[in-house]
Each structure stands twice: as C-alpha cells, then as structure tokens.
Amino acid sequence: MEKLSIIKIGGNIIEDETSLHAFLKLFSNLEGNKILVHGGGKRATHVASKLGIESKMVNGRRITNAETLEVITMVYGGLVNKNIVAKLQALQIDAIGLTGADINSIQSEKRPVKEVDFGFVGDVKKVASNAIDKLIKANFTPVFCAITHDGNGQLLNTNADTIASTIAVGMSKIYETSIYYCFELNGVLKDFNDKNSVVKYINTNTYKELLKDEIITDGMIPKIDNCFDALNNGVARVHIGNTSMLTKENDNFTTITL
C-alpha cells in the first residue's frame, strides 16, 4: 500500500512569514504523496476586527454567525489558502487549494445546539476519498482550508484538526496514512517551561496518567482525542510536534499509539 502524509498547520505558522516559508520548504521536500490542511483563525480574528465584527469564542471554539462565516470564507478559502498555494508553486509543488465543497470532498452537518449554539459550524459526516485520490493520482497536492459544506449549498466553519483526521481516516482505505500535527512546541511537554521535556510516546494508558497529573489539559485534550479516534479508524501513525519533525534528522516529537 502506498503511503500518504496529511500535515496540519496552525495559526502561529501561518501568521509568521519566515516560519511559513521554512515550513513550506520542508513540506515541499517531503517525499511521497501528501495533503496539507490549514486553519487561519488568528488572521480571521484580525480581519474581522478591522471590519468591526466581534469574534466570540467559547472553550476555545469560535461562534460562527453569518457575518463571521463571510470573513472566514474570505480569509481561509481566499487570502490564506491562495497565499500558501502560490508559495508552493514557487517551490515547484503543483498545489491545488480546496474547501470541502470543492469536488464534494468533505460534507458536514451543522452542529446541533446543545449548551452552546456555535452557528455555522460543521461536524464532518463524509470524505470523498476517491475524488481526492483522483487529484493525487494526477500529481496534484491538495491544500485544504478549514471550510466544509452540507451538500445543500451551505458552507460551514470546521475544525482543522478534525478535517486532517477525517481526511486521513477516509484515505486510509486507499493509502497507509500518517498525520503530522505541526505547531510551535516540540510536542506534548511534561513541563511547559522546559521546551525539551517532550513525551515521546503516548498510548491509551499513559494518556490517562497524563490527564490525571494534569500534564495534558485544555485545548490539548480534544487534539489527543482526535488522534486516538483516527488511530481507531484505520490511520497508521499520528505525530505531534514542530515542523522539524518532517525532517529525518529530528526525532524529538510526540507519537500517539493505541
């Protein structure tokens, strides 16, 4: 089975031109089939503020009303996505920028209202793995932003970590898939003040201990839960760390295993 790498990058890399360029250079040198998934929340918040639109967050998740959805579509699907695609073309990578609506690749349903009404936020239902595979087979490199659709003409803001994991699960029927969650830290840290205190391997047992000891807290919990969900549904490997984990020289990052 051929291998496929799904790499997800967050706002801190996107916001810094030097970091973004360094990452895209690493990404362009990565061998084999690959897909890039990006967010852009910090940029969206900045643009919304300039337009006089208040950004509301609950537990680190954005409330997406109609106005905010317009900004997200402009920023994620336009400004950020096309900037990344253009930079990849300059690095001789034939990239194609996509939302989940393109080639009907990722369908979601609007998140049901429970304690909080998140507005136009989507929970992924279906990934069209065969359609995405056609792009890969044609030697294109898909670059997905964090927008999906409901199949009835409605775009939906969708968590980029979830998009990366659900694409990986969908593509695992065709490829041996690995996910790389790239952010500014070296990995999951035992001590937040010691950047080298990386927990190199986390399985279901060590995860319980890390939760009990409050080493893993807050926003890292849904990220790790996402990782286990992916591994339980056909994904071969999941890694968390900074962008240098895409090189063969660096082995100081976190690998999640069952």
pTM of the model: 0.95
Question: Looking at residue 10, what is its pLDDT?
Answer: 84
Given a contact cutoff of 8 angstroms between Cβ atoms, the answer to whether 159 and 134 are in contact is: no
Has 39 been labeled as part of a binding site? Answer: no
SS3 content of the chain, % helix, strand, coil (to 5): 40, 25, 35
Joined together, the tokens standing for residue 34 give 């690959």
Q: CATH classification of 3-42+72-256 is 3.30.930.10, yes or no?
A: no
Question: Looking at residue 221, what is its pLDDT?
Answer: 87
- Tell how far CA 95 is from the center of its chain: 17
* 3-state secondary structure (DSSP) of residue 108: strand
Given a contact cutoff of 8 angstroms between Cβ atoms, the answer to whether 63 and 56 are in contact is: yes
Paired sense of beta strands 95-98 and 3-9, if any:
unpaired
| Dihedral sign of CA atoms 212, 216, 218, 223 in order | negative
Has 40 been labeled as part of a binding site? Answer: yes
Question: Looking at residue 24, what is its pLDDT?
Answer: 97
Q: Residue 197: which of 135, 153, 145, 241 has the closest Cα?
A: 241
β-pair partners for 148? 156
Residue 224 has pLDDT above 80, yes or no: yes
Has 111 been labeled as part of a binding site? Answer: no
Domain layout of the chain by residue ranges: 3-42+72-256
Has 41 been labeled as part of a binding site? Answer: yes
What is the DSSP-derived secondary structure letter of residue 213? T
Each residue's pLDDT tens digit, 171-220: 999 999 999 999 889 999 999 889 999 999 999 999 999 999 999 988 78
